[in-house]
Amino acid sequence: MYCSACGQALAPGQGFCPKCGRPSAAPLPSVPGMEFQLENYAGKVRALAVVWFIYAAISLLLGIAGLTFAHAFFSHFGMWGHGPWGNGSMPPEWFGPAILHLIWIALLGRAVLALIAGWGLLEHTQWGRIVAIIAAILSLIRFPLGTALGIWTLIVLLGYRNTTLYEQL
């Protein structure tokens, strides 16, 4: 501890500065139950991180299964060359597979974002909190799992009290 007037080093429990005579400030009492609140909040953040990992795995597996089925269905029934673009107005050879590739990229992006959010929350980094909030907002439209996870994430991470607790982790 140091004197607030002259900067002299003070011994613990010393009431006055030996150099200038100014009374030292009393140490601030700790907030009652703060350790319990911090441990409780850390458990919530850890559980949220694990659920983000699970959500990434589930959405990746279901997305791969869905895209595999779509590719097999459209390839087997020859749907790429038929329909409104089958008369030659749009090249049917690349349109369907291009859509599937775009969906594949979006699926990978969503899974990677969920993994990064989970890892950042598990490590208690400030950027992890921001990435998790962004991922939560983007996953709100993915009913029902994404919506539930997004709402839970926003409840746990937003607000003054939760922000203060997260910064102390």
Domain ranges, ordered by start, for the chain: 1-28, 34-168
Most confident segment among 8-17, 88-97, 111-120, 158-167: 111-120
Dig out the tokens for 109 from the structure.
């992006």
pLDDT digits (tens, 9 = 90+) for 114-129: 999 999 999 999 999 9
Q: Indicate the pTM of the whole model.
A: 0.71
Q: Rounded to an integer, what distance in angstroms lies between the CA atom of residue 80 and that of residue 94?
A: 8
**Percent of the chain scoring above 90 in pLDDT:** 47
In order of 31, 40, 50, the CA distances from 166 in angstroms are 16, 11, 17
Predicted local distance difference test score (pLDDT) of residue 169: 82
Dig out the tokens for 143 from the structure.
């009913």
